[in-house]
Amino acid sequence: MSAPSANRIPVHDVDATKKRIHPRFTDGFYQRIRLFSMYFLLALFLILPWIKYDGRQAIWFDVPSQHYYIFGLTLFPQDFFFIAAFFMIAAFTLFMVTVYAGRVWCGYACPQTIWVHLFQHVEKWVIGDRNKRIKFDIEPNSASKIAKKLLIYFIWFLMALITASTFVSYVAGTKFIYGSWQTLGGFPIPDWPTWIWVSMFIFTFATYANAAYMREFMCIHICPYGRFQSVMFDKDTLIVSYNYNRGEPRGARKKGTHPDNLGDCVECTMCVQVCPTGIDIRDGLQVECIQCAACLDACNEIMDKVGYPRGLIRYTTERQLVEKEKSRYLRPKLFAYLLLLTVLISVVAYSLIERVPLQIDVRGDRNQLSSTNTEGQIVNSYVIKVTNKTQKSNDYVLTITAPKGFNLMTRFKSIPLDAGESYDMPVSIAADPKVITQSETPITFNVDSKDGSYHASKTNVFTSQITK
């Protein structure tokens, strides 16, 4: 790893406020990729709840009714496996990407980074670039300063509110969040239940507090991923790094010159000024670095200006930088993650393909499972729960597979169920004692959709022991 400089600039000396980091916004190859990634993900987050599929919200985690819709797929609490598997796949993908490309998630895709970036842009739009923002922080209050602050707070609040309503609409549905109104004292206000008001308050507050005040504190001190990522790093992980041997001794110089006693770092501090976490990349790899590559782009711009080759700060690996060896891109750790992901994704894909969107559960009547009827037959009672897991209404028919002489007794010819609906149906099975050959006879309950598309079954037992 690059050695830290002996006469380095203390991190916050470049920030006159010593309280708040006001990064300078920079442009460059990696910043353009970052912006594309950030705005693409942001647009996805905002647009997805408005997309319809088959007449309803395509992605809708309808917690109150416990139906989770993802386009053509409806999941129920019983399908917890898929939800757990999804999180495992996401986690292992993140681990694999981290082993290969370091904290690329933090710099290019993390919601915290995206929202902080947006909130800082509001400050830039209202106050101006970095120097103006630093001056603004320390100047005494005036009417103009208060007006600007109020404008910033108002825009931040609106952004937090939009974030919260989008977030909650994934759970409550856009139709309900934006379409339910009532009048209170002559003013229209949303007609929401308490849990939505509470959720809106929590998400608005959390977004505002995180993006307006917590900012890099969240990444440095709270986010667990930032803490344990170093465990995943190896000598071949991509990191943004300063080439210490090339840059040192650093120092200012006349334009167009390169004094023999100095390295390539012209001590412009631009790499520190653009850093959103306020660190100096020249001090080596630090836990605060979210690998956003802003310092890399800023330094390349400086190198272009002074006529030195680019890459004083660059994406590299420890093996390349310190051991002067070629990085190994194909390594056992990556293959292990790939193998694990392939197995997980295959299992989920197979389970999804095999999944029947129809469920049957059978419970014996707890009060009196077995009794005799007026004809002397032994009768067992059950409650059959049928769940239509499709996204369409359907009619279902119940039958049994049982030895000859066992008869299903039900008043239901068919069970009409709406999409996602369940129904508990009491049924009985009667059998003449002569046909019963064992104390517990297995009975299979079958449920089939009338159109013949779906079939599900469950086996229970018929007991011949009379319960009182």
If the CB atoms of residues 306 and 340 are measured against ligand SF4, the closer one turns out to be 306
What is the smallest separation between the CB atom of 243 and ligand SF4, expressed in angstroms?
Answer: 9
If the CB atoms of residues 79 and 283 are measured against ligand SF4, the closer one turns out to be 283
Secondary-structure percent of the chain, ordered helix, strand, coil, rounded to 5: 45, 20, 35
If the CB atoms of residues 286 and 414 are measured against ligand SF4, the closer one turns out to be 286
What is the smallest separation between the CB atom of 336 and ligand SF4, expressed in angstroms?
Answer: 28
Q: Is 384 exposed, middle or buried (0-12, 13-18, 19+ CB in 10 A)?
A: buried
Facing residues of 313 across strands?
242
If the CB atoms of residues 10 and 193 are measured against ligand SF4, the closer one turns out to be 10
CA 434 to chain centroid, in Å, comes to: 61
If the CB atoms of residues 62 and 123 are measured against ligand SF4, the closer one turns out to be 123
331, two tokens: 């390594």
If the CB atoms of residues 242 and 454 are measured against ligand SF4, the closer one turns out to be 242
Helices assigned H by DSSP within 3-79: 29-47
What is the smallest separation between the CB atom of 363 and ligand SF4, expressed in angstroms?
Answer: 58
What is the smallest separation between the CB atom of 302 and ligand SF4, expressed in angstroms?
Answer: 5
What is the smallest separation between the CB atom of 125 and ligand SF4, expressed in angstroms?
Answer: 21
Q: Residue for token digits 């307006």?
A: 212
CB 297 within 8 A of CB 35: no
Rg (C-alpha) for the chain, rounded Å, is 32
What is the smallest separation between the CB atom of 10 and ligand SF4, expressed in angstroms?
Answer: 14
One-letter amino acid for residue 255 of the chain? K
What is the smallest separation between the CB atom of 252 and ligand SF4, expressed in angstroms?
Answer: 10
Kind of pairing between the strands at 370-372 and 378-388 = antiparallel
3-state secondary structure of 438: coil
CB 2 within 8 A of CB 242: yes
Q: Both ends of the chain: CA-CA distance in Å?
A: 80
What is the smallest separation between the CB atom of 68 and ligand SF4, expressed in angstroms?
Answer: 36
CB 275 within 8 A of CB 294: yes
**Rounded distance between C-alpha atoms, residue 101 and residue 10, angstroms:** 28
Handedness of CA 116, 47, 202, 89 (dihedral sign): negative
If the CB atoms of residues 134 and 295 are measured against ligand SF4, the closer one turns out to be 295
Q: What is the DSSP letter of 222?
A: I
If the CB atoms of residues 238 and 290 are measured against ligand SF4, the closer one turns out to be 290
If the CB atoms of residues 130 and 250 are measured against ligand SF4, the closer one turns out to be 250
Facing residues of 103 across strands?
none
What is the smallest separation between the CB atom of 303 and ligand SF4, expressed in angstroms?
Answer: 7
If the CB atoms of residues 219 and 443 are measured against ligand SF4, the closer one turns out to be 219
CA angle 342, 345, 346 (to 5 degrees): 80
Q: Is 308 exposed, middle or buried (0-12, 13-18, 19+ CB in 10 A)?
A: middle
Q: Contact residues for ligand SF4 (CB under 6 A)? A: 240, 242, 247, 250, 265-271, 274-277, 279, 281-282, 289-295, 298-299, 302, 312-313
What is the smallest separation between the CB atom of 132 and ligand SF4, expressed in angstroms?
Answer: 20
